[in-house]
Structure 1
Amino acid sequence: MTSDSAPLFRPLELPCGVVLPNRIAKAAMSDSLGDGRGNPTATQMRLYERWAAGGIGLSIIGEVQGDPRHAEKPGNLVLGDLSDHTAFRELVRRGSADGTHLWAQLGHAGAMTHPPIGTPKGPSALDLPGLTSVALTATEIAALPDAFARTAQLARDLGFGGVEVHAAHGFLLSQFLSPLFNRRTDAHGGTIANRMRLLLDVIAAVRSAVGTRFPIGVKLNATDQLEGGLTPEDALEVVAALDSAGIDLIDVSGGTYFPGARAVSDAGGSGAYFLDFAQAARDRTDVPLMVTGGFKTRAAAIDAVTGGGADVVGLARVLVLDPDLPERWRGGGDFDPIFPRFPDPPEGGITAWYTMQLTALGEDREGPECDLSVAIAAYETRDTDRVTRWNERFSAVR
């Protein structure tokens, strides 16, 4: 290990006492590699095994749903009493190789539930181009903390090293935080104190269920990047409240996947997107900060840690291009991947391309291996097939 790389490879002790072996995390992505029935596949297991072998300290598997009625895509995992627990244990075993900590990101799509497999429900009724949802009732909201807690407890029992509560990117808990999508007039709407109430109740229930020594992270938007959405000022108020909520890591990201909104990860540039917010958050919390989004070079990752903006750097698409990147960075030198360029991509097209590259990695085929139109077609065909399987599997639940 070179001296300049050393800051990235120092261990980090979390507030609960668990120690991450280094400061590089595979941030949660919707890898869409479930079997269409909510269970892990051999391809998914191999993918997370490859990332572990590549030298990351923390790996977060995205969109692990507790409720199949509110999934983001039919390739999501569903963790419950009827899941294939043997397959989940094998995913944990392989994804935790070489000392990597594998966490489950606890998801609930809310208003962004994929309509072919569920009913979109959010804090308020919405009727927007490409997005229609009904409002959750007070009874349904009251049941959510215990539902998240049951999923977290099962994740712990199956061997996951921690959980991340997903409150970013426009999914359910992010919807509650955003005044653009939360127009409630009861105790869960209006002021930011009310809008964050559900998130804090979920965290409290999860902590009670998993105990004090099990890591809990929260993924939080610095901003929705939408006019009328969550502002950095309100997000800092959430950070301040999280300081005393008993969590171990705040994963700072931003943006939303609502229809028509440009994904933050599709942006260009060479620098991290949310370091300025993380620096401001330092004054509001002692909880370790992970910053996700925009890290494309070794130099940027080192600067984020040495400059105090981040305790952990969250990498996503860069690890699709090179799953062994942390080990290359450990040795020094210029091993920064070259990102593909897509002129005038359709909405969701770039995500589809990267998703299909994840499939290639999990099958030990090296990408990039197809153009954008081929990737989109393959992605859509696979999802169509999985919708059928999903609805067959969960028809009784719906």
Structure 2
Amino acid sequence: MPKAQISPLAQPLTLPCGATLKNRIAKSAMSDSLGDGAGNPTNDQIRLYEQWAQGGLALSIIGEVQTTPHFAEKPGNLVLNGHSDLDLFKRLAKAGETDNAHLWLQLGHAGAMADAPISTPKGPSALDLPGLTCGALSMDEIHALPAEFAQTANLAKELGFGGVQVHAAHGFLLSQFLSPLFNKREDAYGGSLQNRMRLLLEVVDAVRKVVGPEYPVGIKLNATDQLEGGFAENESLEVIATVDQMAIDLIDISGGTYFPGAASSSDRAGSGPYFVEFAGRARQKTNIPLMLTGGFKTRAQAESAIVEDKAGLIGLARALVVDPKLPSFWLSEQRSEPQFPRFKNPPEGGVTAWYTMQITQHAKGDAALAPDELEKAIAEYEDRDEARRRIWNSRFS
């Protein structure tokens, strides 16, 4: 009797630093919005990442963990620095490593997209656009950023998290610096691509120096902003070629921005992975393992990306919200695809709100939301943000 073929998704992946991921399935970073409003983890959040680890994945990444409270994307973000409740973070780290999984923190800074009710948004350049107004970071503020990222990375290591990811995608601060559409600076951090990538390289260098050579450090990078005049694919390939000379363990490729009015990749219609062809071009620029995030809807698509060497790791987000145990089903070939909800004419941001509240349902152990509960989910999402903004401003003012 022939031996059953093992799925390529079941193969372990050893990173350049020497750490090994047990298979090729990861939960990519999402803003789960489960912080307590004062920057600390909650019991719900701790349970959630334990559940995802028990579902069979190799790696989870917690989205938008802030180095300071001053430029948070949402009042549900975590803030990790010397003022945080480190015992809660230790519990979160322990829960996320259940069943030999890795739990990494995504080091975030929302920059121009910082939540205005709890911050004063600042990006590389001052902007006054419909739905988006911000100031420009001073040179002193820019020079302070690498050390802030490094401090949080060092704490992540000390507390037991499996690694960190530097967030340079989706229109957040380091992505803003990379984009000529939003970076109009005329100093060492603007103009040429080499100048626009300077801050990202300085952050990566500072993080690596503080955590040492054997701790996983990744980056998340846009293939493209998907905006006219923004960060384009050829520029992204140049950044990847430059990063290839650094001690990076994983490059997570995604795309799009969350700027007001811009369509995010996850809200676009499509039947397959969004950036798989770009990943094939990126593979020619680097030997660093690539994680490909966005649009994977079937096991066959994920396996094909691995077999064709377009990706070393498959990043799933919404698929793991609708089916938290999907990795175990894919690895045992019991299921080929998750069942995604369909919404009729959802408002801007409405689908994200529904998925975020669905995450909350899983974390609490409550019944899953139905697609026709979209309006209810949006209302609860907005009410919770308002309540946590009050806590945030009280805690950090």
TM-score, length-normalised on structure 2?
0.98
**Which region of structure 1 is more displaced relative to structure 2, 338-347 or 212-221?**
338-347
Q: Which residue of 2 aligns with 1:309?
A: 310
Q: Which residue of 2 aligns with 1:380?
A: 382
Q: Distance in 2 between matches of 1:47 and 1:90?
A: 12
Residue 43 (str. 1) matches residue 44 (str. 2): yes
Matched residue SS, 2:271: coil
- Residues 1:3 and 1:251: Cα distance change in structure 2 (over 3 Å): farther
Matched residue SS, 2:112: helix
Q: Which residue of 1 aligns with 2:355?
A: 354
Q: Which residue of 2 aligns with 1:108?
A: 109
Note the C-alpha offset of 1:5: 5.1
Q: Distance in 1 between matches of 2:323 and 2:144?
A: 41
Matches within 5 A, 1:247-396: 247-369=248-370, 371-395=373-397
- Residues 1:220 and 1:184: Cα distance change in structure 2 (over 3 Å): same
Note the C-alpha offset of 1:69: 0.5
Query: Structure 1, residues 215-245: CA drift from partner, whole Å, max 9, x if none?
Result: 0000000000000000000000000011011
Letter of the aligned partner of 2:395 in structure 1? R
Q: Distance in 1 between matches of 2:211 and 2:332?
A: 37
- Residues 1:272 and 1:337: Cα distance change in structure 2 (over 3 Å): same
Note the C-alpha offset of 1:4: 5.3
State whether residues 41 and 88 of structure 2, in contact with CA within 8 Å, keep that contact through their aligned partners in structure 1: yes
Letter of the aligned partner of 2:51 in structure 1? R
Q: Distance in 1 between matches of 2:317 and 2:392?
A: 27
Note the C-alpha offset of 1:54: 0.3
Q: Distance in 2 between matches of 1:19 and 1:125?
A: 42
Note the C-alpha offset of 1:115: 0.3
Unaligned runs of 5+ in 1: none
Note the C-alpha offset of 1:368: 2.6
Matches within 5 A, 1:1-398: 3=4, 6-369=7-370, 371-395=373-397
Note the C-alpha offset of 1:23: 0.5
**Which region of structure 1 is more displaced relative to structure 2, 324-333 or 374-383?**
324-333
Letter of the aligned partner of 2:388 in structure 1? R
State whether residues 270 and 297 of structure 1, in contact with CA within 8 Å, keep that contact through their aligned partners in structure 2: no
Q: Distance in 2 between matches of 1:375 and 1:4?
A: 42
Query: Structure 1, residues 14-55: CA drift from partner, whole Å, max 9, x if none?
Result: 000111111100000000000000000011111101100000
Matched residue SS, 1:28: strand
Query: Structure 1, residues 337-377: CA drift from partner, whole Å, max 9, x if none?
Result: 21111122111100000000000000112313461110000
Query: Structure 1, residues 84-129: CA drift from partner, whole Å, max 9, x if none?
Result: 1110000111111000000000000000000000010000000000
Query: Structure 1, residues 33-86: CA drift from partner, whole Å, max 9, x if none?
Result: 000000000111111011000000011011110110100000000001111111
State whether residues 217 and 248 of structure 2, in contact with CA within 8 Å, keep that contact through their aligned partners in structure 1: yes
Q: Percent identity?
A: 62
TM-score, length-normalised on structure 1?
0.98
Q: Distance in 1 between matches of 2:148 and 2:79?
A: 13
State whether residues 126 and 135 of structure 2, in contact with CA within 8 Å, keep that contact through their aligned partners in structure 1: yes
Q: Distance in 2 between matches of 1:269 and 1:186?
A: 40
RMSD over aligned Cα, in angstroms? 1.0
Q: Distance in 2 between matches of 1:333 and 1:53?
A: 16
Count of aligned pairs between the two proteins: 394
State whether residues 240 and 285 of structure 2, in contact with CA within 8 Å, keep that contact through their aligned partners in structure 1: yes
Q: Distance in 2 between matches of 1:118 and 1:187?
A: 26
State whether residues 5 and 302 of structure 1, in contact with CA within 8 Å, keep that contact through their aligned partners in structure 2: no
**Which region of structure 1 is more displaced relative to structure 2, 363-372 or 187-196?**
363-372
Query: Structure 1, residues 279-308: CA drift from partner, whole Å, max 9, x if none?
Result: 001111110000000011111111110111
Q: Distance in 2 between matches of 1:9 and 1:118?
A: 43
Q: Distance in 1 between matches of 2:73 and 2:9?
A: 33
Unaligned runs of 5+ in 2: none
Q: Distance in 2 between matches of 1:303 and 1:283?
A: 18
State whether residues 5 and 329 of structure 1, in contact with CA within 8 Å, keep that contact through their aligned partners in structure 2: no
State whether residues 10 and 23 of structure 1, in contact with CA within 8 Å, keep that contact through their aligned partners in structure 2: yes
Note the C-alpha offset of 1:335: 4.2
State whether residues 300 and 336 of structure 2, in contact with CA within 8 Å, keep that contact through their aligned partners in structure 1: no
